[in-house]
A and B are shown apart, each in its own frame.
Chain A
């Protein structure tokens, strides 16, 4: 797959899952530039701070892909998505694709997540190279 992107943001409170996502992204060769957030709040702050981050990170910013966990303290994935809606009219964020990180029992969560336009697909944890590629391909098809 010749998918390339400048950077990816992984939002997950679990360190193991974050690390595994990082390895998967690196192994797939999508990008070497990966940002991490522990929860929705941190992720929101990271994205919102556009001008500063752009200056600091240049072409790596904004990330083109966000891998978003659902169960997180202080701000859940859903709460993040609700807040993220306010960037809708800002063209600078229009190209960001969000993939939800889910467990096998989260059918209900999936249904809920589908209601957000910004959510383009789902990835069952733990993330590895194969399921990351698969989820991305699916997401690209739907774009």
Chain B
């Protein structure tokens, strides 16, 4: 089975698609949210706008009416009170216009002041003339002529231009302003009729009463709030009284009793109902304004909560995707490492099986060669030669046996065995000593063991034994033949981090420097020396040490070799 190709291991496209998903989702959600947000914000702004414009418009209309009325009443009565009221309201109107333009520049952008300015200037100049004159008869004329009325109408139209309402609460607010304004108009019309006896005022009055009735009807219809309808009913009741009194006044005017009509319209009863009317309207105004602000606040809050929820969801989603991407990266890395490991193992296995088949075949072929010869000699009864050749058959059979043993050991070493046990080093040393005694030429080599670790050690006993016997028997095989103090020593030492250090040193022929990097490879046999083994010994040693999570290194010179093994152990 083949290992995976690098391209198969890339989680990058997965990550790429995850990121694309995140971006698309976030973009979509944000787009939907912001279009919704924009719509809602526009609505809120529109409501705010309506509220402000309507409030300003109503106040302007009220002040305008009040200014006209004050000027006219001053003209009729010559009472300084009306002049003062005029000046006071004029100042307030001026401030209101300026404030409206400055504070709400977003909505009005200076247009309100500009729009009303020219009409207002004309009206003011006419009114100013009135206050400058001394004789009352002469004064009334300019305030009632067509020019003055034309400018007043023009002014009213321009102010109304700034009103455009569709929201129910705001429409109520507008109706409220209208009711307050019309009340002022009615009072003024009635009073003007009382002063002048002109039919015009009765006509205006009748026209406005119809509008007022319609306004009350619409306001009541739109009001679904108990408190609001209560205030409205109060105002309506006060209005009925006022209309009744005004009706009396108009009857008196019709009879020519102008002064009696004036008395009715300025009398305490009339004033009392005017006050009730104004108070009701004020309460209604406060309540409706609260309702409008509440609806605006509610919408704003709902947008904020929605935004919060959306951002929380997006944040969680993004985090989740990041987490996924991270996991994919980790999987990819793990898979790559595993793949590299597998590739390495596969290559090793390939070399191993290829070499193995040849190596197993060599002694077999030798045995075949000798056997054929033995058969030939058998025909000639050449017993001495047969005995001689039989030695070679056995030798090769032993070689084959050793090879098979080594292969079995390697196969075993491939399986990671977690079984650890308490290791008796003295017993290991004894076993090694007796094992190497069976090797050829060992009588020249002195074996010694020096265990300096002062504690019980738990590790893979069998693997450790195999490693040590391999290294020691190598030292024995490659000992210098021409010296009489040949030795091989095992020494142990325990360091503080639970790592056991084992050194195996000899004063043998050493390993040729050019072969140092191949010592632990499969079938390593040094060419400058007589080859004894299968070439698998040191490969097996390294494999076993790696399985114990240890490391092995060596230094070698023509004076000897020292192997250094480090293995983590349990005390």
Contact = CB atoms under 8 A, between A and B. Distances in A.
Contacts of A77: 527
A23 B393 CA distance: 14
A46 B529 CA distance: 22
Given A13-B530, A16-B370, A105-B522, 15 more contacts: A19-B370, A20-B370, A23-B369, A23-B372, A23-B373, A71-B528, A76-B527, A77-B527, A103-B525, A104-B354, A104-B355, A104-B362, A125-B362, A126-B362, A126-B369
Contacts of A104: 354-355, 358-359, 362
Interface in A97-139: 103-105, 109, 124-126, 128
A109 B530 CA distance: 15
Interface residues of B, number: 25
Contact of B527 (A17, A20, A70, A126): A70
B165 interface: no
Interface string A23-38: 1100000000000000
A20 B369 contact: yes
Leading 7 A-B pairs by shortest Cβ distance: A104-B358, A105-B523, A126-B366, A73-B530, A16-B392, A20-B369, A71-B531
Interface in A20-59: 20, 23-24
B389 interface: yes
A78 B531 CA distance: 15
Contact of B396 (A13, A16, A128): A16
A126 B358 CA distance: 11
B395 interface: yes
B369 A76 contact: no
Interface of B: 354-355, 358-359, 362, 365-366, 369-370, 372-373, 389, 392, 395-396, 522-523, 525-531, 535
Contacts of B392: 15-16, 19
Given A71-B525, A72-B530, A104-B359, A128 B395 contact: no
Interface string A84-98: 000000000000000
Contacts of B530: 13, 71-73
A83 to B, nearest CB: 15
A125 to B, nearest CB: 6
A23 B372 CA distance: 10
B58 to A, nearest CB: 105
B396 A103 contact: no
A20 B389 CA distance: 10
A56 to B, nearest CB: 26
B365 A126 contact: yes
6 contacts: A16-B396, A76-B527, A103-B358, A103-B362, A104-B359, A105-B355
A124 B526 CA distance: 17
Contacts of B373: 23
A128 B365 contact: yes
Nearest to B399: A16
Contact of A71 (B359, B523, B527): B527
B558 to A, nearest CB: 15
In terms of DSSP, what is the predominant structure of the interface of chain B?
A: helix
A73 B365 contact: no
Contact of B369 (A13, A109, A128): A128
B529 A71 contact: yes
Contacts of B365: 126, 128
A124 B359 CA distance: 11
A134 B115 CA distance: 118
Contacts of A103: 358-359, 362, 525
Nearest to A103: B362
Contacts of A16: 366, 370, 392, 395-396
Nearest to B393: A16
A72 B526 CA distance: 10
A17 B373 CA distance: 14
Nearest to A72: B530
B386 to A, nearest CB: 13
B530 to A, nearest CB: 4
Given A20-B366, A20-B369, A105 B389 contact: no
Contacts of B370: 16, 19-20
Nearest to B521: A105
Contacts of A17: 366
Contacts of B531: 71
Nearest to A17: B366
A97 B173 CA distance: 122
Contacts of A109: 527
A64 B529 CA distance: 28
A13 B369 CA distance: 18
Contacts of A15: 392
Contacts of A23: 369, 372-373
Nearest to B366: A126
Nearest to A75: B528
A2 to B, nearest CB: 24
Interface string A2-17: 0000000000010111
B400 to A, nearest CB: 12
Contacts of B535: 105
Nearest to A73: B530
A59 B307 CA distance: 109
A23 B535 CA distance: 27
Nearest to B530: A73
Contacts of B526: 71
A126 B372 CA distance: 14
B124 to A, nearest CB: 115
A109 B527 CA distance: 9
B529 A73 contact: yes
A72 B525 CA distance: 11
A104 B356 CA distance: 9
A15 B354 CA distance: 26
